[in-house]
Structure 1
């Protein structure tokens, strides 16, 4: 009897969640990667990733034909936004369920995305596209300082910074265009208005909102999310308007299939769309949604990948929150403690540390800065906040600054 398989092209930090969900649904998970060694953590799931040139569509098609000699491939996807479009192209080639790859690619270009949303009459921050330091300065002058300057194509807040004056603009332009920043595609910079107000993150499947979180990005100039809380405390009117603008955004971008994540801010003029991500929200969003509503977004995503009907009905009504652990300085991590004590607290669902003593800590102002996270849940928001504070207080670390180079002392 031929085994049924679910193929994943590369993966994000939540790849193990996808592997477990695929097994739960009765499929053999197969992870294709250009660098299988980076998935050593999947050994605990008894999965050994296979080599494939994951940036080459023809090579991936050939690899999938090879696999079809052994498996019945029921679905193809990726948990990484970087590879979501090429996975969609594979689905199209093999006649499998999947998103429209053209819509995914248009959406990933944030300048293109802004244009499509603006044409549909959806509120977005004022924006300009720039390809030089001079164009960044002139764009900022047209919009008015402060502005956010970021790559037009990118993920995980990489290269995103609030610039409040001409010096900061020049410094960040040099970082992005001077050879330090590594571009995944041709350099293209987006300069946009700094929309201010509470930040909300919306998880959707198809045209249905599954959950809305309040997100705290801490202090500028960088935008690394420090905390997520489900459900966000919204009035009925706020919830209605967020739902309306979310659905209109999906229609404008042609994103009718599968999971989406939308970030917006509630400004003095109402909801303003910051970004539409054409994929499932990253860690810890899936875990929080499951704790708060009882909906396993990863499993429901894989159901639609293999052509099954998803079940998004709320099974419980709890609160859930996560705190991201961020370093206060660069240097060498001497020690980090308290993980087991925090995990033992009632209401703590998960404590995850990404680093070990001896690791170099070099902050870049993006999600790669994270030392780890803590996830908690309880029936009430007050209880959840109290548990989260207690758990985070139990975790401590020490970072010794790097030695100052001779000549700079």
Structure 2
């Protein structure tokens, strides 16, 4: 009896709320094997096999994939994890399946290296200078001109990103960012001092096949008040007029970094002088953005990522014309979560696609920025409508009827930091 080939997913999908959909949707169409750093739990219902390995260790990853391949043929490899895109590229190369080159993924992970390439090839982007010390950061900030942005060179999810308006703020901001930069992964070191780009922030969701990129949607971001850049919402609308303006720049940025394959999440700002790149993430977007794209346009980016990993051409023809949006909820203060409740009458509204609670009652929580990104989030809501304005009204109605309460921490009790 022949054994069906599997699509190997690298990473444990441990962020069950945000990546659960990816695994479920992919497993509905392809046999999936999982390469993870811990034994699967809920994932077992959606996989046919797995191997456990230290995902930071290339030799361990290769050995685990070889063990799995002796049981089942591997016809493709993918990851949805920003910190694993280099390992996944190297694994795809060794297995002889479709994928990006590992050097291209290292460029995407290391924002300093990406910026050098953008400068070399004339890709409009935020000027930035890599630094290792506060003294270097002072000189770089003077050279670029305040305000500036400090950010770790290879993190994701706005971790450790802060705006600095003048020299007096720099030492405190430096301590915050330098601490975050200690856990950013192997592909980048230190901190970037970056030009602050004024204007709306967006992401462009792109599909690249054989070096040719199609920009399929734009997600407009809602951010916390500065100096922080925590993402609190996204809105995607079919036939967004901004897409035609930014698609060429997204394609140019991906080509500059050597991305030839897969689904990418390209972040940029719409400045007075035109769109400029902030960074390129060579993997599927987080924060349920693929779900928003599917609800708004009918294009399934999760399926596209799987198809490309297997060497198939994805289906990118729009079949819907709607707007979809997500709003992420945070606790009002640090403490133990005691209540998350939405008025049942609102919860039954037909325009709600999903309400999801992330933090269990009784768990310590705290608002950003001084917590891990997912430890700070209580839940989210996804809605649909005819326009961005309608989805915003729907989200505002949910927030008006939402109750999140937090009890103060007992003396000596640890927060969610």
Instruction: Tell me the TM-score normalised to structure 2 length.
Output: 0.90
Q: Residue 4 of structure 1 contacts residue 72 of structure 1 at CA under 8 Å; is this kept in 2?
A: yes
Report the alpha carbon displacement of residue 183 of structure 1 after superposing the two structures with TM. 4.1
In structure 1, how many angstroms separate the alpha carbons of the residues matched to 2:180 and 2:319?
A: 50
Q: 1:59 to 1:339 in 2, by over 3 A?
A: farther
Report the alpha carbon displacement of residue 35 of structure 1 after superposing the two structures with TM. 2.5
Q: 1:179 to 1:161 in 2, by over 3 A?
A: closer
Q: Residue 9 of structure 1 contacts residue 33 of structure 1 at CA under 8 Å; is this kept in 2?
A: yes
Give the secondary-structure state (helix, strand or coil) at the position aligned to 1:68: helix
Partner in structure 1 of residue 314 of structure 2? 310
Q: Residue 359 of structure 2 contacts residue 379 of structure 2 at CA under 8 Å; is this kept in 1?
A: yes
Give the secondary-structure state (helix, strand or coil) at the position aligned to 1:377: strand
Q: 1:297 aligns with which of 280, 295, 301?
A: 301
1:134-188 deviation digits (Å, cap 9, x = unpaired): 1111211221222110101111111111122334210122234469953423641
Q: 1:32 aligns with which of 30, 35, 54?
A: 35
Greater CA drift, 47-56 or 173-182? 173-182
For the aligned residues, what is the CA RMSD?
2.3
In structure 1, how many angstroms separate the alpha carbons of the residues matched to 2:261 and 2:100?
A: 5
Give the secondary-structure state (helix, strand or coil) at the position aligned to 2:404: strand
In structure 2, how many angstroms separate the alpha carbons of the residues matched to 1:342 and 1:128?
A: 48
Report the alpha carbon displacement of residue 55 of structure 1 after superposing the two structures with TM. 1.5
Q: 1:40 to 1:218 in 2, by over 3 A?
A: same
Partner in structure 1 of residue 341 of structure 2? 337
Q: Gaps (5+ residues) in structure 2?
A: none
Q: 1:311 to 1:325 in 2, by over 3 A?
A: same
| 2:135 matches 1:134 | yes
In structure 2, how many angstroms separate the alpha carbons of the residues matched to 1:180 and 1:86?
A: 20
Paired residue total? 401
Aligned pairs for 1:97-108 within 5 A: 97-108=98-109
Q: 1:200 aligns with which of 180, 199, 202?
A: 202
Q: Residue 343 of structure 1 contacts residue 349 of structure 1 at CA under 8 Å; is this kept in 2?
A: no
Aligned pairs for 1:136-175 within 5 A: 136-175=137-176
| 2:275 matches 1:271 | yes
Partner in structure 2 of residue 399 of structure 1? 406
Q: Residue 238 of structure 2 contacts residue 321 of structure 2 at CA under 8 Å; is this kept in 1?
A: no
Q: Residue 300 of structure 1 contacts residue 310 of structure 1 at CA under 8 Å; is this kept in 2?
A: yes
Greater CA drift, 87-96 or 40-49? 40-49
Partner in structure 1 of residue 260 of structure 2? 256
Q: 1:264 to 1:325 in 2, by over 3 A?
A: same
In structure 2, how many angstroms separate the alpha carbons of the residues matched to 1:381 and 1:158?
A: 27
Partner in structure 2 of residue 285 of structure 1? 289
Report the alpha carbon displacement of residue 250 of structure 1 after superposing the two structures with TM. 1.4
Partner in structure 2 of residue 371 of structure 1? 378
Q: 1:183 to 1:275 in 2, by over 3 A?
A: closer
In structure 2, how many angstroms separate the alpha carbons of the residues matched to 1:68 and 1:234?
A: 44
Q: Residue 42 of structure 1 contacts residue 48 of structure 1 at CA under 8 Å; is this kept in 2?
A: no
Partner in structure 2 of residue 217 of structure 1? 223
| 2:95 matches 1:94 | yes
Partner in structure 2 of residue 7 of structure 1? 8
Partner in structure 1 of residue 82 of structure 2? 81
Report the alpha carbon displacement of residue 40 of structure 1 after superposing the two structures with TM. 3.4
Q: Residue 148 of structure 1 contacts residue 161 of structure 1 at CA under 8 Å; is this kept in 2?
A: yes
Q: Residue 341 of structure 1 contacts residue 394 of structure 1 at CA under 8 Å; is this kept in 2?
A: no
Q: 2:392 aligns with which of 367, 376, 385?
A: 385
Q: Residue 325 of structure 1 contacts residue 372 of structure 1 at CA under 8 Å; is this kept in 2?
A: yes
In structure 1, how many angstroms separate the alpha carbons of the residues matched to 2:127 and 2:396?
A: 37
In structure 2, how many angstroms separate the alpha carbons of the residues matched to 1:308 and 1:314?
A: 18
| 2:63 matches 1:62 | yes
Question: Which 4+ stretches in 1 moved above 6 angstroms?
Answer: none
